[in-house]
Amino acid sequence: MDLAYLRAHPAHLPTFRTHQRIRETPVAGGDICAAARLTLDDGHSIFAKSWPEGAATPAPAGFFAAEAAGLRWLREADAIAVPEVIVALPDLLALDWVEPGEPTPEAAERFGRELAGLHRAGSATFGATWPGFIGSLPQDNTPADGPWSTWFAERRLAPYLRRSVDGGALTSADAMLVEQVIGQVGGLGGDEPPARIHGDLWPGNVLWGADDRAWLVDPAAHGGHRETDLAQLALFGGIPYLDRVLAAYQESWPLPAGWRERVPLHQLHLLLVHTALFGGGYRDPVVQTARAVLGRAERATVDR
């Protein structure tokens, strides 16, 4: 099997893998899927991810289709490096292989400019035309006209708060804090038309390539707020050279006033996803972030 054959017959990939006619090297790093580098007969490599064998539950319906749709939509903007989708099957996704490299200041600055270009490509609505996932959790992508603050509170905060409380990761007192945030999103400013965003842009979903570019992987892509992507880049230790990324972004497309104060608000979505998905180990970051948002809201009220 070479790349040309695979492009013409993508549904044959599982059969070739089963009969061990493709050299396969495991790839580490995923929390949900099993991943491997597949080397084809023509020497071309692809990245394949699949639902783990023996998993307690099957892959959610539409899980890989959602990622494929998001990757293609981001790639259509022709603004930033996104791997090509080669195979998209109900239980398997295969992408063009990106040779890993090391982050550099120059790549970070290019990434900032290219991310601004991606966001500028925009979206017809908030949400998307395909059902969404973030991690293995469903994410409501029902298209909506906004305003962003209402959409974000109802579609990106409230659902994962409910899941987190129902799963025991957050207490009723924690929930009250987050509910206060949900009730005040509209007063924190920053409403903008929908941007074309990655949607799950924590540092682990930026792949630094040997070509000195930053590649976007594992998206939860949709029409959202551009500040969400930028805020997520600062989570969990932050992306390398974040200051260079932000400076280059600002030169390309300046952010609205108050964006730094809104960083915790935008981060709260992904932190709630983590309590919903992984449990109480992420409780403290959720509580601290909610308090930071409320503190900013109180200061804004005093200033007015």
Give me the CATH number covering residue 227. 3.90.1200.10
Is the same domain home to 115 and 189? yes
Residue at which a domain ends, from 96, 128, 156: 96
Is the same domain home to 204 and 76? no
Is the same domain home to 117 and 160? yes
Give CA–CA dist 227/19, Å, rounded: 46
> In tens digits, what is the pLDDT along the chain, a chain of 304 residues?
899 999 999 999 998 888 767 888 989 877 789 999 999 999 999 999 998 887 888 889 999 999 999 999 999 999 999 999 999 999 999 999 999 999 999 999 999 999 999 999 999 999 999 999 999 999 999 999 989 999 999 999 999 999 999 999 999 999 999 999 999 999 998 899 999 999 999 999 999 999 999 999 999 999 999 999 999 999 999 999 999 999 999 999 999 999 999 999 999 999 999 999 999 999 999 999 999 999 976 666 544 4
Give CA–CA dist 260/215, Å, rounded: 25
Residue at which a domain ends, from 96, 117, 150: 96
Is the same domain home to 162 and 236? yes
Is the same domain home to 188 and 279? yes
Is the same domain home to 127 and 238? yes
Contact 103, 211 (CB under 8 A): no
Q: Which residue has the tokens 């982050």?
A: 103
Is the same domain home to 126 and 62? no
Tokens for 63? 């899980």
Residue at which a domain ends, from 96, 123, 156: 96
Give me the CATH number covering residue 49. 3.30.200.20
Is the same domain home to 161 and 69? no
Is the same domain home to 51 and 168? no
Give CA–CA dist 295/288, Å, rounded: 10
Contacting residues for 20 by C-beta, under 8 A, at least 6 apart: none
Domain that holds residue 25: 3-96
Contact 172, 165 (CB under 8 A): yes
Q: What is the dihedral of CA 130, 135, 140, 144, to 10 degrees?
A: -70
Is the same domain home to 125 and 89? no
Tell me 90's DSSP state.
T
- What are the backbone angles phi and psi of residue 161, rounded to the nearest 5°? -65, -45
Counted domains in the chain: 2
Is the same domain home to 211 and 171? yes
Is the same domain home to 143 and 259? yes
